[in-house]
Amino acid sequence: MVSFSYSFVLFLVHGRDFGLLFFRAVFGVIMMVHGFPKLKNLKETSLNFANMGFRPGAFWGTLAALLESLGGIALTFGFMAIPLAGLFVLEFLTIVIWKISKHMPFAGGWEFDLLLCSAALMLFLFGAGMTSLDHVLFWL
């Protein structure tokens, strides 16, 4: 009975880390998928950001493109997960507030952004786990 309890605890501890690995990798890939097109066409991205009211559009568009592209890659491997997740929380909180201010509906409007904000918040609070470069390099 003691070995079962110990095995179950080990399963929970390691299961949590593999769950964080999957969660982190999916979030990172989603960020890359959204960031690479922005990075590929920075001129259009800058214009889009300026048209949305984020001025200067070149600064904010480039920042979002780099964060989503390079930050997505880094998060996939669990590198600098907590600071990057904090930046993603700020990004998606801004998007949600902006969409609400434009009276966009929840469904088909800002629900996915809220979900991504929540996912980033989870990574910010829990870190990348033991299956990450952060753990290997910094023991976080």
Q: Please report, in tens digits, the pLDDT of each residue of the chain (140 residues total).
A: 556 677 777 777 678 889 999 999 999 999 999 999 999 999 999 999 999 999 999 999 999 999 999 999 999 999 999 999 999 999 999 999 999 999 999 999 999 999 999 999 999 999 999 999 999 999 87
The Cβ of residue 119 has, within 10 Å, a number of other Cβ atoms equal to 20
Task: Give the number of C-alpha atoms closer than 13 A to the C-alpha of residue 84, restricted to the C-beta side.
Answer: 25
Output the pLDDT for position 15.
83
Instruction: Please report the sign of the dihedral spanned by the C-alpha atoms of residue 56, residue 36, residue 107, residue 48.
Output: positive
Pick from 97, 48, 39, 43: nearest CA to 71: 39
Output the pLDDT for position 52.
96
Instruction: Please report the sign of the dihedral spanned by the C-alpha atoms of residue 4, residue 10, residue 13, residue 16.
Output: negative
Helix-helix angle 2-40:111-126, to 10 degrees:
130
Q: Phi and psi at residue 19, in whole multiples of 5°?
A: -65, -45
